[in-house]
Structure 1
Amino acid sequence: MSTATMTGRATARGEARAVPTMIGGLVASTKAELLRLRKWPAVWILATVWLLLNLTFAYLFNYIAYSTGSSGFSNEGVPPSALLPDLLPAAIPSVLTGGMPMFGGAIMFILGALAAGSGYGWGTWKTALTQGPSRLSTFGGTLAAVAIAVVGVIAATLALDFAASILIAVVEGQSIVWPALGALAEAVGGGLLIFGMWAMAGVLVGVLTRSPALAVGLGLVWSLVIENLLRGVGNLLSGIEYVTNVLPGTAAGSLAGALGAGGSDDPDGAPGVLTVLDGRPAALLVAAYLVVFAVVGALVMRHRDVT
């Protein structure tokens, strides 16, 4: 048997052993990151803040306006009597994503930035990457843990919306009509894309800045201020409009708008919800951003010195 053949077989066996090792490292890193996130009070606080915002602005304020017959900022331009249909279970697909592009997205950005950036301040990245599995497995565990956290937040949001809408239907003596499964699946999928994109953006900025505080500040300024200013300028200068139409916030807002959450031309639309892009282009653009943010973050982590 030639030396080349023996070398080739040894290399193949080494590669075959490397795949299970990488998978095992990814699973172990995911479990460790999930344990860290689960025991971190900041994560629970962020999730609770989002759930309270969703409950307050999607149901509480509108139900108060409906039951009292008053008008306020939450239902400006909409008769109070027209609010009830949006508070019932059948409207959940359109209500679910209403607050996700701006407020929910900002919270998920903070979650991703804390998950990735805190490893530098605490020194855990240095320890994990020098003593644990490969860098890709370790960082992949963080991405997987953040993704699982996003799924958990979406599930909790959906359960809360169902509970609130059913309670309102019972109190108001309305028959309970369940939402169409197709529309509900599209809303959940859209919510996962929106939250996932912003969470991965937070992870990327956390890795780039190596500081959770700086990453959180940059993310909030970008999602709540800069994109809105750029869209305002884009309405005046046509050249800038082509750029603002493909920004992450625009894509997320347009996806929510396509799912029925309303838009800037809808007085009942939530802040950050837009109708700039159609549903399919918006979903593809959000998915592309999600993948790019995750891949760039992994590449930076792989080649950067963590000392």
Structure 2
Amino acid sequence: MSAATSLDLRASAPGPSAVLNSTRADLLRLRKWPAVWVTIGAWLALNAMFAYLFNYVTYSSGTTNFSTQGESRAELLAGLLPSGLPATLPQGMPLFGGAIMMVLGAIIAGNGYGWGTWKTVLTQGPSRTSTLAGSLSATTVLIAGVALATLVTDYAMSLAVALAESRSTALPGLGDLAQSVGVAFLVMEMWAMAGYLLGTLARSPAVSVGLGLVWGLVIEQLLRGVGGSLAWVDTFTHFLPGTSAGSLVGQMVGVDPGTPDATPGLLDALSYDRALLMVVAYLVLLPTLTWWLVRRRDVV
């Protein structure tokens, strides 16, 4: 955030107007920040490659890859068509998409401390609660935009496959598509809020990004592996964010995690309703912990 943008917040009075001004200022910061666009572009590119490009090459060549073992060519093609969007869209969110959204949340919060932005705003601008609410609101708007951009990208890829193979371009039911986009948004938002909390806790983008990636990609996976031998560890993993996100998407798309072609990160440890409840609980808990940290600690 530029100095001019930061100082604009000083005139904000406490209340809704202060939150709105803080949201607008943070959206301006995010919109003009190349790191945000690079991170989002990396996710869209990875999603397009792993969800469509590699699978279409596999379908066209008649071979198999690590993610399509056990699938017939007809099943593989069905997932690449527009009618398969509800199942294809959220499958990469629990692990790969979640990790990238955690990185995004961590750098949004952590760089504010590294650049001295929060120090300037919190000592001269509106209240800490208003500033934080505006920043979290801007992050949520950004994540919603990423979810919609993912939908548009996936639809474009699926439409290209349908036209290339002379198959139906009919869209799935609106209800199924809305549920898929909603689940994808909730999962990405949860991981972004986790990254934001880590960025606030560490006050450093590098440390928070490292901690988030180690937790999401390593520690949770190891704990679930140990849970196969220790019942109490298995019970503990049912309360982890990765388990909640993986179960929510896994139950929605109906993928059996035990099959060789299951997408990494998809689980069936929790029912759909319980997984949804856990994700929503994290969406309340994580911002609340962030608010408590910001309120209790010094700004420097």
- Range class of TM-score, shorter chain: over 0.9
Q: Is 2:276 aligned against 1:276?
A: no
Q: Is 2:260 aligned against 1:267?
A: yes
Structure 1: how far apart are the matches of 2:291 and 2:250? 31
Residue by residue over 1:209-250, the C-alpha shift from the partner in whole angstroms, topping out at 9 and shown as x without a partner, is 111110000000000000000000001111111001121000
Q: What is the percent sequence identity of the aligned residues?
A: 52
> In the alignment, which of 202, 220, 227 is matched to residue 227 of structure 1?
220
Residue by residue over 1:125-166, the C-alpha shift from the partner in whole angstroms, topping out at 9 and shown as x without a partner, is 111001001100001111011101100100000001111111
Structure 2: how far apart are the matches of 1:96 and 1:220? 22
Per the alignment, residue 7 of structure 2 pairs with none
Structure 1: how far apart are the matches of 2:252 and 2:90? 8
Per the alignment, residue 208 of structure 1 pairs with 201
Q: Is 2:288 aligned against 1:295?
A: yes
Report the secondary structure of 1:83's partner residue.
helix
Structure 1: how far apart are the matches of 2:46 and 2:252? 20
Structure 2: how far apart are the matches of 1:22 and 1:302? 16
Structure 1: how far apart are the matches of 2:262 and 2:67? 9
Structure 1: how far apart are the matches of 2:75 and 2:119? 56
Name the CA shift for 1:298/1:76 in 2 (closer, same or farther; >3 Å). same
Unaligned 5+ residue runs, structure 2? 1-11
> In the alignment, which of 61, 64, 71 is matched to residue 71 of structure 1?
64
Structure 1: how far apart are the matches of 2:75 and 2:238? 32
Residue by residue over 1:241-284, the C-alpha shift from the partner in whole angstroms, topping out at 9 and shown as x without a partner, is 10011210000000110120624223322111111111111011
> In the alignment, which of 86, 106, 118 is matched to residue 113 of structure 1?
106
Per the alignment, residue 129 of structure 1 pairs with 122
Note if contact 1:97-1:261 (Cα within 8 Å) is conserved in structure 2: no
Per the alignment, residue 191 of structure 2 pairs with 198
Per the alignment, residue 42 of structure 2 pairs with 49
Residue 20 (structure 1) shift: 7.3
Residue by residue over 1:173-217, the C-alpha shift from the partner in whole angstroms, topping out at 9 and shown as x without a partner, is 112221111111111111111001000001111111111110000
Q: Tell me which amino acid in the other structure corresponds to 1:167.
A: A
Residue 21 (structure 1) shift: 3.3
Structure 1 length normalisation: TM-score?
0.92
Q: Tell me which amino acid in the other structure corresponds to 1:257.
A: G
Report the secondary structure of 2:106's partner residue.
helix
Structure 1: how far apart are the matches of 2:37 and 2:251? 30
Q: Tell me which amino acid in the other structure corresponds to 1:228.
A: Q
Q: Tell me which amino acid in the other structure corresponds to 2:298.
A: D
Per the alignment, residue 10 of structure 1 pairs with none
Per the alignment, residue 132 of structure 2 pairs with 139
Per the alignment, residue 33 of structure 2 pairs with 40
Note if contact 1:262-1:268 (Cα within 8 Å) is conserved in structure 2: no
Report the secondary structure of 1:74's partner residue.
coil
> In the alignment, which of 167, 170, 177 is matched to residue 160 of structure 2?
167
Q: Is 2:14 aligned against 1:21?
A: yes
Q: Tell me which amino acid in the other structure corresponds to 1:156.
A: A
Structure 1: how far apart are the matches of 2:174 and 2:269? 26
Per the alignment, residue 246 of structure 1 pairs with 239
Unaligned 5+ residue runs, structure 1? 1-18
Structure 2: how far apart are the matches of 1:266 and 1:177? 29
Note if contact 1:25-1:137 (Cα within 8 Å) is conserved in structure 2: yes
Residue by residue over 1:113-135, the C-alpha shift from the partner in whole angstroms, topping out at 9 and shown as x without a partner, is 11111111111111100100110
Name the CA shift for 1:127/1:206 in 2 (closer, same or farther; >3 Å). same
Note if contact 1:22-1:134 (Cα within 8 Å) is conserved in structure 2: no
Structure 1: how far apart are the matches of 2:152 and 2:259? 26
Structure 1: how far apart are the matches of 2:173 and 2:74? 24
Runs of 4 or more, structure 1, over 4 Å off, are none
Structure 2: how far apart are the matches of 1:33 and 1:262? 38
Note if contact 2:82-2:169 (Cα within 8 Å) is conserved in structure 1: yes
Structure 2 length normalisation: TM-score?
0.94
Note if contact 1:92-1:179 (Cα within 8 Å) is conserved in structure 2: yes
Q: Tell me which amino acid in the other structure corresponds to 2:131.
A: T
